Chain A
Amino acid sequence: MILWIAVFHYETLRLNYLSPLIGRELPKLKFLYPPAGWIMFFNVDRSYGFTEVYGLKHGQPSLIDPHEIFETRFVWYDNIHRNVLISVLSLHDAPRFCRYLRRKFPQYDGFTVVYAAHPDLANRPDEIQRQVMYRCP
Chain B
Amino acid sequence: MSVRAWWHKAFLVERPSLSLGLFRIAVAITVGAHLFPGFFQMEDNYLATAFKEKNGSFFPLWALQLIEQSPDWLVWTFVGLFGGSWACVLIGLNTQASCLLMGVSCYYFYALNSLHIGTLSFDILLVTLSLMYVTSYPGDFLSVDSFLRGDRAGAHAYKRLRPFFVQRLLQLQIAWTFLYTGLSKITAGGNWLTDNPYYYLLRYPPQGVVRQFPFRAWLAGQPEVCQWIELVVITGEFALPFLLFIRRTRPFALLWGVSFHVLLLVTLHVPTIFFFLFPPQLLLFVEPETLVRWIERRRTRHAQRGRIRLLYDGRCGFCLASVARLFALDLFGRLEPIDFHGVADLRAIHPSLTREGCQSRMQLVEPYGRIAEGFDAFRRISVRLVLLWWLVPLLYLPGARWVGVRAYDWVAARRFLFHRNTACQTNQCSSNT
Q: Interface of A with B (CB < 8 Å)?
A: 1, 4-5, 8-9, 12-13, 16-17, 28, 30-35, 37-46, 48, 50, 66, 70-84, 87-88, 93, 96-97, 100, 103-104, 118, 121-122, 125
Contacts and interface: CB of A to CB of B under 8 A. Distances in A.
Contact of B269 (A78, A96, A103): A78
Contact of B172 (A5, A16, A30): A5
A38 B120 contact: yes
Nearest to A76: B272
Interface in B222-241: 223
Given A33-B127, A39-B120, A42-B181, A12 B176 contact: yes
Nearest to B39: A72
Given A37-B184, A72-B41, 19 more contacts: A1-B11, A5-B172, A30-B59, A38-B120, A38-B124, A38-B184, A39-B188, A40-B181, A45-B195, A50-B207, A70-B115, A72-B37, A72-B40, A76-B272, A81-B209, A87-B53, A103-B49, A121-B204, A122-B196
A4 B169 CA distance: 9
Contacts of A38: 120, 124, 177, 180-181, 184
Nearest to A123: B203
A82 B49 contact: no
Given A72-B37, A72-B41, A103-B49, A1 B123 contact: no
Contact of B201 (A44, A74, A76, A84): A44
Nearest to B134: A4
Contacts of B204: 48, 121
Contacts of A78: 269
A29 B187 CA distance: 23
Given A39-B120, A100-B49, A45 B197 contact: yes
Contacts of B172: 5, 8
B409 interface: no
B189 to A, nearest CB: 5
A77 B269 contact: yes
Contacts of B126: 32
Given A38-B177, A45-B195, A77-B270, A16 B53 contact: no
B190 interface: yes
Interface of B: 11, 33-34, 37-38, 40-41, 43-45, 49-53, 57-60, 63, 107, 115-116, 119-120, 123-124, 126-127, 130-131, 165, 169, 172-173, 176-177, 180-181, 184-185, 187-192, 195-201, 203-205, 207-209, 211, 223, 265, 269-272, 275
A83 B204 CA distance: 12
Contacts of B124: 34, 38
6 cross-chain pairs, A with B, having the tightest CB-CB distances, nearest first: A16-B188, A44-B197, A35-B57, A100-B51, A34-B123, A42-B190
Contacts of B223: 122
A42 B184 contact: yes
A96 B52 contact: yes
Contact of B209 (A33, A82, A103, A122): A82
Contacts of A93: 51, 53
Given A16-B187, A44-B197, A84 B177 contact: no
Given A28-B57, A72-B37, A122-B203, A16 B189 contact: yes
Given A41-B201, A45-B200, A100-B51, A1 B169 contact: yes
B276 to A, nearest CB: 8
B197 A43 contact: yes
A43 B189 contact: yes
A1 B195 CA distance: 39
Given A37-B184, A40-B120, A74 B49 contact: no
B116 A32 contact: no
A41 B169 CA distance: 25
B191 A44 contact: yes
Given A4-B169, A17-B188, A81-B269, A74 B116 contact: yes
A70 B117 CA distance: 13
A103 B60 CA distance: 30
B51 A97 contact: yes
B192 A118 contact: no
B41 A71 contact: yes
B118 to A, nearest CB: 9
A78 B270 CA distance: 8
Nearest to B10: A1
B33 A75 contact: yes
B352 to A, nearest CB: 51
Contacts of B131: 4
A41 B191 CA distance: 10
A60 to B, nearest CB: 23
B226 to A, nearest CB: 11
A124 to B, nearest CB: 11
12 contacts: A12-B180, A16-B184, A43-B197, A44-B201, A45-B197, A46-B195, A50-B208, A66-B207, A72-B116, A80-B207, A81-B269, A121-B203
A76 B277 CA distance: 14
A43 B191 contact: yes
A39 B192 CA distance: 12
Contacts of A104: 44
Contacts of B185: 41-42
